[in-house]
Amino acid sequence: MKPEETVDFQIKRTWQSIAKMYNEVAAGYGATMATGFVLLNIDSEKGTPSTALGPKMGMEATSMSRILKSMEEKELIERRPNPSDGRSVLIHLTPFGREKRKDAKQAVINFNTSVIQRFSQNEMSTFFKVIEGINTMIIDHKLESEKV
């Protein structure tokens, strides 16, 4: 089995290509892929607890708070008290952040549309079946090996 024939190599390489591509698109707006992902993960209406963003994006708390700080300085987001819990805060989009969220959303739509147009519906559904199945397999196996 050559490395380039393995499932892990293909997934890793393609994820790195996607990340590079998104970072280049984001650089055109003076931003990064991570900034775009944060914008997309904030609820435009109700705001989102800062503590919920890290797990949602699979990101460490320290990296997340660094990104949030920089986004606050750029006036993309603002912190407001949580109406249902006075001790915590919610991250809200500013009007400028809302505008930039649209750009991020468009970048995701553009990329996904290009992919979908390139392959048949059958190919895409097999692709999703396999990649979701691999993820489930890893999670199940982990749960299995954690059993006593």
Min. distance of Cβ 112 from a second copy in angstroms? 5
Question: Taking CB under 8 A as the criterion, which residues in 61-100 touch a second copy?
Answer: none
Contacts (Cβ under 8 Å, ≥6 apart) of 100? 29, 31, 36, 39, 76
d(CA 30, CA 32): 7
Packing angle of the helix pair 7-27, 95-118 (nearest 10 deg): 140
What SS3 class is residue 58?
coil
Q: Are 106 and 29 in contact (CB under 8 A)?
A: no
Instruction: Identify which range of 42-50, 65-73, 88-96, 120-128 contacts a second copy by CB under 8 A.
Output: 120-128
What SS3 class is residue 79?
strand
Q: Identify which of residues 80 and 141 has a Cβ nearer to a second copy in the complex.
A: 141
Q: Which of 47, 99, 134, 144 binds a second copy (CB under 8 A)?
A: 134
Q: Which of 44, 51, 106, 135 binds a second copy (CB under 8 A)?
A: 135
For binding to a second copy (CB under 8 A), which residues are involved?
1, 3, 6-8, 10-22, 24, 40-41, 58, 108-109, 111-112, 114-116, 118-119, 122-124, 126-135, 137-139, 141-142
